[in-house]
């Protein structure tokens, strides 16, 4: 059984009491975190010890998807001082991501091994499936700035994650026949910004791709969560919810 725990589902700024992007996927003793935005690390510790996480996989290098890696790193540093870590969590960044991450950490610490000394740090090849314990992650380029990858997490179920993206063919490949399509819906119908989705677009992708469930995320509360659900229901007629911090779903 695959389990999804929503640690953070806010857009670029946290909703009241919320956290930015962070989704914990667990199956058969494997735990993988998709993105680690602001506020996510504190919530992660409510569910497992951070050193027990096998991997963090980052979709793209925007702060609301990676910034709490700094807090995670400091936790590992202090935990290692108390008791040497038996293994380091893996950190999988998109191509070019390590340099961008260091550009942030260098503002307070000049070490070029700030992350790699405590994480097993890699830049993934998006053309190659990533195997982490019981789970496999496939990457699909989507329409966002900078280079951004949607993900298909495969195990006992298929969880499709849009990451941040505007309308593009890649989203259909991400969501295809998925047990759950976790889709952003940051745009309103009035928005002309081409790098996010509207709820109606998210619903249309879920419908055309044959997704069994739709979970909307990355929505600013001011635009209305109920509004988003109503709009998405015009284009998708399957089970649908709005993501909330602390939500847990089991998929099989």
pLDDT in tens, 159-185: 999 999 999 999 999 999 999 999 999
- Token pair in block for residue 105: 């950490």
- For the chain, 252 residues long, give each residue's pLDDT as a single digit of tens: 999 999 999 999 999 999 999 999 999 999 999 999 999 999 999 999 999 999 999 999 999 999 999 999 999 999 999 999 888 999 999 999 999 999 999 999 999 999 999 999 999 999 999 999 999 999 999 999 989 999 999 999 999 999 999 999 999 999 999 999 999 999 999 999 999 999 999 999 999 999 999 999 999 999 999 999 999 999 999 999 999 999 999 999
d(CA 57, CA 169): 22
- Token pair in block for residue 33: 């975190």
Which pLDDT belongs to residue 86?
A: 87
DSSP string, 68-104: THHHHHHHHHHHHHHS--SSPPEEEE-TTHHHHHHHH
Task: Count other C-beta atoms under 10 Å from residue 40's C-beta.
Answer: 30
pTM: 0.98
Residue 227 phi/psi, 5° resolution?
-60, -45
Query: Which residues form the domain of 157?
Result: 2-251
User: In whole numbers, what is the pLDDT of the chain averaged over residues?
Assistant: 97
Instruction: Tally the domains of the chain.
Output: 1
Which of 29, 35, 32, 27 has its CA nearest to residue 3? 27
Which pLDDT belongs to residue 246?
A: 98
Task: Count other C-beta atoms under 10 Å from residue 155's C-beta.
Answer: 23
The string of pLDDT tens digits covering residues 17-33 is 999 999 999 999 999 99
CATH number at residue 96: 3.60.15.10
């Amino acid at each position: 059984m695959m389990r999804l725990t929503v640690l953070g589902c806010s857009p670029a700024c946290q909703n009241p009491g919320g956290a930015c992007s962070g989704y914990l996927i667990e199956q058969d003793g494997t735990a993988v975190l998709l993105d680690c935005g602001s506020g996510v690390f504190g919530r992660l510790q409510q569910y497992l010890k951070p050193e027990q996480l096998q991997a963090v996989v980052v979709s793209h290098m925007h702060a609301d998807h990676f910034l709490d890696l700094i807090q995670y790193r400091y936790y590992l540093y202090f935990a290692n001082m108390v008791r040497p870590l038996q293994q380091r969590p893996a950190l999988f960044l998109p191509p070019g991501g390590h340099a961008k991450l260091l550009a942030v950490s260098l503002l307070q610490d000049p070490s070029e091994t700030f992350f790699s000394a405590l994480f097993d740090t890699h830049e993934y090849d998006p053309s190659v499936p990533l195997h982490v314990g019981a789970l496999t992650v496939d990457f699909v380029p989507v329409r966002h700035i900078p280079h951004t990858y949607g993900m298909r997490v495969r195990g006992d179920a298929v969880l499709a994650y849009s990451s941040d993206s505007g309308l593009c063919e890649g989203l259909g490949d991400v969501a295809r026949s998925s047990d759950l399509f976790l889709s952003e819906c940051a745009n309103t119908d009035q928005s002309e910004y081409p790098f996010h989705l509207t709820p109606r677009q998210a619903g249309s992708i879920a419908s055309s791709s044959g997704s069994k469930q739709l979970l909307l995320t990355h929505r600013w509360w001011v635009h209305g969560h109920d509004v988003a659900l109503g709009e998405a229901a015009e284009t998708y007629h399957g089970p649908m919810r709005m993501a909330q911090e602390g939500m847990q779903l089991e998929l099989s």
